[in-house]
Amino acid sequence: MNIPSERKSRDTAERAPFQVSFEFFPPKTDVMEERFWESVHKLAPLRPRFVSVTYGAGGSTRERTLRMVKQVKAETGVDAAAHLTCVGATKAEVDDVVHAYKTAGIKRIVALRGDPPGGPGQPFVQHPGGYTNAAELVAGIRRIGDFDISVAAYPEKHPQSPTWDVEIDNLKRKLDAGATRAITQMFFDNRDYFELLERAAKAGITAPIVPGIQPIHSFKQISSFAAKCGASMPDWVAERFDGLEEDPETHALVASAVAAEQVLELVDEGITQFHFLTLNRSNLVLALARLLGVRPD
């Protein structure tokens, strides 16, 4: 039997502490807001590097994103990062949002181009007077303040990048414009992520490319999200959830096993930073953090 005797995921004495961050979305209703805060308060004691709050398609959550990041920081003391896109707004309007973050003491921004109102499948049309892409947005943010900027990376290539060379050139441009790290789109086959790391390293990219981990709370919902953003759901993952629509208990156990396998495999390969997409739920993420030895204060 060929079981490796040393695994980083089990080597608790030697390993460096893992760094985690958590992504939330701005809640739309009072009930959703209750769940948001419940999750934030459960995850904040894990002392994440930051908690990020997404920016609704086409800038639709501009005020809510700002309110949530301000409150997260004020109520928990955890650093908050605001996502920002350039869709449907002039440069001046986007810059105003950046100034508002600066005034509110928000020092971290996840800078994105965003998707057109018709969804990720539609071609992106630059708003008249708007930023063309994320690289330009990063440069614009840099002109306003000394923010810690994260950008997006795609283990399976952005659907609009015709080739890997275009994809990696674009990632490099965003980092060269002043971003500190990239955070990936969700992926379910770790090989895609490792190949991205290799491609980036070959292009001379040294900034961290942090894996975006999406636990599969609901296979139906997550596979639909994945399809929309161009992330593939491997057959073997689909098979594990097959037939569990009416069996939430087993579904939850399988979800936890699938996410644990993904995260521990990354740890065994030396990955030490993780960005968890929480969908405003804490339970699976709490369990994953525990596997990393990340415990509440």
Catalytic residue numbers, as ranges = 23
Given 106, 109, 152, 259, the residue binding ligand FAD (CB under 6 A): 152
Quick check: 127 binds ligand FAD (CB under 6 A)? no
Quick check: 107 binds ligand FAD (CB under 6 A)? no
Cβ atoms of 111 and 134 within 8 Å: the answer is yes
Between CA 104 and CA 21 the distance in angstroms is 20
Given 185, 223, 262, 282, the residue binding ligand FAD (CB under 6 A): 185
Given 115, 179, 255, 282, the residue binding ligand FAD (CB under 6 A): 115
Stretch that binds ligand FAD, among 36-44, 166-174, 219-227, 285-293 (CB under 6 A): 166-174
Between CA 204 and CA 49 the distance in angstroms is 26
Q: Which of residues 72-91 bind ligand FAD (CB under 6 A)?
A: 83, 85
Quick check: 280 binds ligand FAD (CB under 6 A)? no
Q: How far is the CB of 222 from ligand FAD (least distance, A)?
A: 15
Quick check: 60 binds ligand FAD (CB under 6 A)? no
Given 114, 130, 178, 215, the residue binding ligand FAD (CB under 6 A): 114
Given 19, 71, 90, 161, the residue binding ligand FAD (CB under 6 A): 161
77 CB-side CA count, 13 A: 4
| C-alpha to C-alpha distances, 48 to 45, 58, 132, nearest whole angstrom | 8, 28, 32
Between CA 175 and CA 169 the distance in angstroms is 10
Between CA 175 and CA 19 the distance in angstroms is 20
Quick check: 133 binds ligand FAD (CB under 6 A)? yes
Give the interface size with ligand FAD as a residue count (CB under 6 A).
24
| C-alpha to C-alpha distances, 2 to 5, 6, 8, 99, 124, nearest whole angstrom | 9, 12, 17, 56, 49
Given 44, 81, 110, 263, the residue binding ligand FAD (CB under 6 A): 110
Quick check: 170 binds ligand FAD (CB under 6 A)? yes
Given 72, 98, 183, 258, the residue binding ligand FAD (CB under 6 A): 183
Quick check: 166 binds ligand FAD (CB under 6 A)? yes
Interface ranges with ligand FAD (CB under 6 A): 54-55, 57, 83, 85, 110, 112-115, 120, 133-134, 152, 158, 160-161, 166-167, 170, 174, 183, 185, 212
